[in-house]
Amino acid sequence: MKHSMMPLAAFLGFYLGLASAELVQSGSICTVTPLGGSSDDTPQIKKAFSQCSKDSQIIFQEGTYNIRQVMEFTNLKNVSIDIYGKWVWSADNLQYWISNTLPVTYAGLHTGWKLGGTDIALRGHGKALFDGNGQAWIDENRGGSNRKGRPINLTIWRATNVFVDGITWRQSQFWHTFVAYSKNVTMTNLDMRTRSNSQWSAVNTDGIDTWNSEDVTIRNWTVECYDDCISIKGNSKNIIAQNITCYESGCAVIGSIANGATETVDNVLFQDFKCNHSSNAAWIKTYPGQGHVRNVTFRNFEFSDVDQPIYVTSCIYSNQNCDSSRLPIEDITWENVKGTSRWNVAAGMHCSSAAPCKGFKFKDVDIRPKAGGTAKVLCSNIKGQADMGLACTGTCPAGWPQQLKGNR
């Protein structure tokens, strides 16, 4: 950050005893105290971001903040946001959220909170907790996938130079985070967990999705979710995701991309991943469209009981036009990838015959079925198979499933 701040302790001492205060501003510092009880804290939060939107610091003191309205702060400039409390998104007014959440362009989805501008630091100091009351949304959605109005918790929107650190998420409403139309974003030391305690699954509670963004660093995350843990979507480039532990998820994902649009992904490094009881581990999924995926590395992966560790498809979900896609997948490396597969398939890779994959490299790949035996490697339309470093044991049919239901 460009501006110099007075030590936080001095301000906390100055405001000691103001437990009933809503918002106190002193120069470039806005300090917010929760109202307590069931009061809606959103108005004072919005006021703080309005009054301290430039060359400022916003401090949210300890306590519980009730979020009952959408929030859009997209004109920030050189602002440090320090959160020491718990933010709880309301669950008794789902129709309000469904009607008022903010569009994010991608796939008709919406968010409850947009944060954007330039030079922004959002720090939780290991104390901030974002509670989305996700069980209410899981039950309302009844096992469905994307749902209009179901809010992404935090969206970094049209932002440049953003730092997010030290925040815990519990029971997110939908995706935990989304980075869109942004550049130079670093997100570190984040802890996310959303699970269901009802008959309905916590579908589409991704840890993060990037889209139309570049120069994004994701480091030191622990995520339990029930879809993609780290997902790199269309028009993303120069992405690093490192030291990530994923539970019950898709782990490291490119896609989905090119659903009715020309989209590209370039220069992605997934490194030092642990995937536990996950659907997949290191995989790429595209629609049969236009664009490309180039220069992606999956390095240092450890996993256990993963449905299908390595997966590549040119026709995700539809299983149609698999061989007519004009979207090449090139220069992909899997290095030091080790663990157990749930079934007897280590890799299923079907590329389009109209745009065959090339530059696939495998080094130190050791995937073994948990029940024993030798794992299959199924390949179709990959150039240079003999030099990949991993022997194909058979062909991969078009429309190969993302999830297996048994041995093949």
In the prediction, which pLDDT does 309 show?
Answer: 98
3-class SS of residue 141: helix
Residue 363 near residue 334 (C-beta atoms within 8 A): yes
From first to last of its 408 residues, the chain has per-residue pLDDT tens of 444 444 443 333 333 333 345 799 999 999 999 999 999 999 999 999 999 999 999 999 999 999 999 999 999 999 999 999 999 999 999 999 999 999 999 999 999 999 999 999 999 999 999 999 999 999 999 999 888 899 999 999 999 999 999 999 999 999 999 999 999 999 999 999 999 999 999 999 999 999 999 999 999 999 999 999 999 999 999 999 999 999 999 999 999 999 999 999 999 999 999 999 999 999 999 999 999 999 999 999 999 999 999 999 999 999 999 999 999 999 999 999 999 999 999 999 999 999 999 999 999 999 999 999 999 999 999 999 999 999 999 999 999 999 999 999
CB distance 78 to 54 below 8 Å: yes
pLDDT at 204: 94
CA dihedral angle for residue 43, residue 47, residue 48, residue 50, rounded to 10 degrees = 140
Q: How confident is the model at residue 134, as a pLDDT?
A: 98
Instruction: Confirm whether 380 is domain-assigned.
Output: yes
Question: What is d(CA 406, CA 23) in angstroms, rounded to the nearest whole number?
Answer: 58
pLDDT attached to residue 20: 43
CA distance 296 to 44: 44
- How many structural domains compose the chain? 1
DSSP code of residue 92: S
Tell me the C-alpha distance between 92 and 78, whole Å: 35
Q: What are 267's two structure tokens? A: 């220069």
Q: What pLDDT score does 14 carry? A: 36
Q: For the chain, report the end-to-end CA distance as a whole number of angstroms.
A: 54
Residue 115 lies in a domain: yes
The answer to whether residue 41 is domain-embedded is: no
Q: Can you tell me whether residue 94 is helix, strand or coil?
A: helix
Contacts of 56 (CB under 8 A, 6+ apart): 3, 28, 29, 30, 78, 79, 80
The answer to whether position 12 is within a domain reads no
12 three-state secondary structure:
helix
Domain contains 247: yes
Q: Say if 50 falls within a structural domain.
A: no
Q: Chain centroid to CA 40: how far?
A: 28
Spatial CA neighbour of 401 closest among 280, 301, 294: 280
Per-residue pLDDT, 146: 87
In a domain, 300, yes or no: yes
**CATH assignment at residue 100:** 2.160.20.10
Rounded CA separation 192/173 (Å):
12
C-alpha 177/C-alpha 182 separation (Å) is 13
Rg of the Cα trace of the chain? 22
**Domain coverage including residue 215:** 55-387
Angle at 312 between CA 373 and CA 388, to 5 degrees: 70
Percent of the chain with pLDDT over 70: 95
User: Residue 80 falls within a domain, yes or no?
Assistant: yes
